[in-house]
Amino acid sequence: MAQYTPMIQQYLKIKADYLDAFLFFRLGDFYEMFFEDAINASQELEITLTSRDGGGAEKIPMCGVPYHSSAGYIEQLVEKGYKVAICEQTEDPKQAKGVVRREVVQLITPGTVMEGKGVQEKENNFLVSLAEDGKGYAFAMTDLTTGENGAAAVDTIEGVINEIYTLGAKEIVVSSHFPEEALAKIKERCAAAVSIEDQDEPDEASEALSSHLSDTGLKAAFSRLYRYVNRTQKRSLDHLQKVTLFQLNQYVKMDYYSKRNLELTETIRAKGKKGSLLWLLDETKTAMGGRLIKQWIDRPLLSKKEIEKRLGVVEVFLEKYFEREDLRESLKEVYDLERLAGRVAFGNVNGRDLIQLKKSLEKIPGILDLVSSLDNEYTSEMAQNIDPCEELRALLEHALVEQPPISVKDGNMMKDGYHQELDQYRHASRNGKTWIAELEAKEREITGIRSLKIGYNRIFGYYIEVTRANLQHLKEGRYERKQTLANAERFITPELKEKETLILEAEEKMVDLEYRLFLELREKVKQYIPRLQSLAKCISELDVLQCFAAVSEKRHYTRPIFTENALHIKNGRHPVVEKVMNSQEYVPNDCVMDAEKEMLLITGPNMSGKSTYMRQIALTSILAQIGCFVPAEEAELPLFDQIFTRIGAADDLISGQSTFMVEMLEARNAILHATDKSLVLFDEIGRGTSTYDGMALAQAIIEHIHEHIGAKTLFSTHYHELTVLEEQLARLKNVHVRAVEKDGKVVFLHKIADGAADKSYGIHVAELAELPAELIKRAQEILAALESGAENDKPVPAAAPQALSEADEQLSFFEAKEVKPNREAQKEKAIADKLKKLEILEMTPLEALNQLYELQKKLKS
Ligand code: ADP
Ligand code: MG
């Protein structure tokens, strides 16, 4: 290293502490990057790579971005998941002996950005920390832009991944000892940057925010997060709020797959909000409400009391249309109080932000009156919590002019009368300027030169200017000559210079003083941060509830009624499909599931509406449990503890993950964790493998849920053969989506009816898809042949035959009859294998008897 120049040595020393970040090294008006950083940044940012001498044998790769336009480049890198360390010159280059001192003043990371494209108005930006203690995981989160903090204990790594997914966290902080295997899983599934922080001792500030947490693990996880933010951001974190303890068992559990499959906050294919439940519901008027509604959708409630509270307010808003409209109008004017509080603490607010704050606060008394006037137990409770922060509003009104400039360093922000000394300077400056204006008039008069004028520039200050043509009218020695221009002459007088000194002094003092006053004002506003944050909470809740009412009214939703166990939906609709269907009529459907019939086996042709129907039941339950009305004529619903949605891999085209293994993993999770209070949607499970395999698995899954879980289950299948299960499983019922054949073509009615579909219509769909007519005809022939010899094809006992190989299956398709003996033999072999493997000595006589019975039954079937 010794051969490098001192500056490069300084660079390398600083870089050693920020190996996982791009180091933006300030050099005059540029941020420069060197070595690897330069090569990578030039590619990522598409900027020119150059090189410079650094004292070593070879030139050093280098690239740079201008300081004044650096924000965009930083944003780009952070958006791509990188970290950027901002290294500034921390002493005046003129004063420096040797290399100017430089320090990293901030590390900008995906989880800590405060501004720019990465910070969407209606989205939180969560940073997460994790700790593992052998039993489970402690999970903490913060949103630096809003100051929200939370912590939760999570049992499994799957649970952790779910939370990271739900929060959309872009960065995760762990200790360097965090178990590698778990970290690898997280990295595989979540697109989040990983950062290391080994400190997890609380300091005074983090203790103040987390002292109420009794769990030491959670406290440590939060401290780790706090330490990390503190170390990287190096500035005030006064806006961070007390840590909210999330008891995950107070919310409906939905894992990553279910949320994704139900398209709650983003669609599967486009990954955007459009087309999701959030997109349908979000008619909030404030950014705060926009973030809260997403949080609510992600965490439906279990407590009937809490749900009824929300529904109660929605109902009031529905009744009071005019009040609601007024409220919506007022909410439009309310600025993002949470983010504002964050920027106040961070020291990024300007006069305009504070004026926005004032304008927002001006709306609060009206909102408060309105909410109080609704005269309802729930809204009255909300009204009590609305704090208009009147003193703050008055302070801002008193202090700031209506249209302050963007910069806080150029003055002109404070009102006259706010501060006596400032008023005096302003007075002096204004007086001086009046004097100069008067002087101009007077001199014109005396000299008779109409075009004489008094001007100002930074170098010469005030001067009197006379055009060359008029110089002859000027009495020699009247003014002192200062500067000669091409066609004018500039002069000064001692009096003018005297006034100039007064004016400039006053102005300089004025600007300094105003800046100081602004900082003082900002400090005062800081004191209000906690009150502004709790006001923000009230406003965002009101906003979400008015939005529920607005959507419920527009789309004719009804208030759900909660039952112990039964589900009864009359004329239900899929909220999102209904919205996007435009002109076509959505066909409403009923759904009945209760203790007698808790499983529905849904058959029907492709494209008839099976998936839509299942999802509409799940979405209806979710809407109900977040406290919104539901898309149905009548809805009686149980409170579900968990919702599972699984889609057969053949239907799931996402990012090459559509393997049968994923399908089974997803199914496993549901089967392991569902209870009799859960809702399970299995959409064509078993499709991702060969027919007999798939059918056997599907049947075994249905039996298992029926016998051991008792969850409300909707199971759609194209294995028509499964419909005979209705005879064996008491609480299973067949339903189908109706389709009719008209002129040899299939017409989908999208209507659910009792019983099994009479056939599968696959070929009709192929016809709709306009496959060649000849091919369709041939398929019809093959089908007829298959059906005429298909008696033995009826349901296959679950545990029975071994998987047929690909080749076998192909064969069976064309020469069904010949293959059958083969299948019989396979079945016998499977049973014999099972018999061989039985550990007779380990079994009780009863178990042995049972096994024998089972095997015999299979052999006979
Ligand atoms: P399946 O799962 O049976 O193949 P889908 O549920 O995917 O069928 O539905 C296919 C299409 O049919 C949907 O995209 C939608 O446009 C339409 N559809 C489904 N249900 C209805 C309904 N109840 N009313 C009107 N159109 C519907
Ligand atoms: Mg489907």
Distance from C-alpha of 684 to C-alpha of 701, rounded to nearest angstrom: 12
Domain edges within the chain: 6-108, 126-250, 289-389+528-553, 420-522, 558-754, 762-791+806-860
CATH topology of domain 558-754: Rossmann fold (3.40.50)
Q: Find all residues with CB under 8 Å of 745, minimum gap 6, and list them.
A: 764, 767, 768
Q: Give the pLDDT confidence of 222-231 residue by residue, as tens digits.
A: 999 999 999 9
Q: Which residue has the tokens 């150059």?
A: 50
Q: What is the pLDDT of residue 608?
A: 87
Tokens linked to 559: 């208030």
Crossing angle of helices 529-554 and 287-298, rounded to 10°: 70
How remote is the CA of residue 607 from the centroid of ligand 1, in Å? 6
* H/E element, 216: helix 216-233
Question: 477 or 442: which carries more pLDDT confidence?
Answer: 442
126-250: which CATH architecture?
2-Layer Sandwich (3.30)
Distance from C-alpha of 820 to C-alpha of 817, rounded to nearest angstrom: 6
What is the average pLDDT across 745-760?
Answer: 82
State the DSSP code for 211. T
Q: For residues 605-641, b (16+ Cβ closer than 10 Å) or e, as one string?
A: bbbbbbbbbbbbbbbbbbbbbbbbbbbbeebbbbbbb
Distance from C-alpha of 408 to C-alpha of 394, rounded to nearest angstrom: 21
Residue nearest to atom 20 of ligand 1 (CA): 609
Out of 108-117, 667-676, 682-691, 806-815, least confident range: 806-815
Q: Which of 79, 1, 63, 81 is nearest to 27 (CA)?
A: 63
| Residue 820 confidence class, pLDDT cut points 50, 70, 90 | very low
Looking at the predicted structure, is the pLDDT value of residue 812 above 50? Answer: no
| Residue 787 confidence class, pLDDT cut points 50, 70, 90 | low
Q: What is the pLDDT of residue 195?
A: 93
How remote is the CA of residue 126 from the centroid of ligand 1, in Å? 36
Looking at the predicted structure, is the pLDDT value of residue 505 above 80? Answer: yes
Looking at the predicted structure, is the pLDDT value of residue 460 above 90? Answer: no
| Residue 815 confidence class, pLDDT cut points 50, 70, 90 | very low
612 lines ligand 1 (CB under 6 A): yes
Residue nearest to atom 10 of ligand 1 (CA): 607
| Residue 176 confidence class, pLDDT cut points 50, 70, 90 | very high
State the maximum Cα–Cα separation within the chain, in Å, rounded to a whole number. 133
Q: How many residues belong to the chain? A: 861
290 lines ligand 1 (CB under 6 A): no
Per-chain residues with Cβ under 5 A from ion ligand 2: 611
Residues 474, 436, 499: CA angle, nearest 5 degrees: 105
Phi–psi pair at 787, nearest 5 degrees: -65, -35
* H/E element, 423: helix 420-447
Q: Find all residues with CB under 8 Å of 262, minimum gap 6, and list them.
A: 254, 277, 615, 618, 619, 622, 643, 645
Contact 715, 723 (CB under 8 A): no
Round the average pLDDT of the chain to a whole number and report it: 88
Q: Find all residues with CB under 8 Å of 311, minimum gap 6, and list them.
A: 559, 560, 627, 628, 629
Indicate the class that CATH gives domain 420-522. mainly alpha
Contact 823, 815 (CB under 8 A): no
CATH number of 6-108: 3.40.1170.10
Residue nearest to atom 4 of ligand 1 (CA): 607
Contact 435, 443 (CB under 8 A): no
Q: Which of 792, 733, 742, 789 is nearest to 767 (CA)?
A: 742
603 lines ligand 1 (CB under 6 A): no
How remote is the CA of residue 804 from the centroid of ligand 2, in Å? 25
Tell me the ligand closest to 604's alpha carbon.
1
Instruction: Report the amino acid identity of residue 342.
Output: G
Instruction: Report the amino acid identity of residue 638.
Output: P
State the DSSP code for 348. -
Indicate the class that CATH gives domain 289-389+528-553. mainly alpha
616 lines ligand 1 (CB under 6 A): no
Tell me the ligand closest to 576's alpha carbon.
1
Looking at the predicted structure, is the pLDDT value of residue 283 above 90? Answer: yes
420-522 against 558-754: fold identical: no
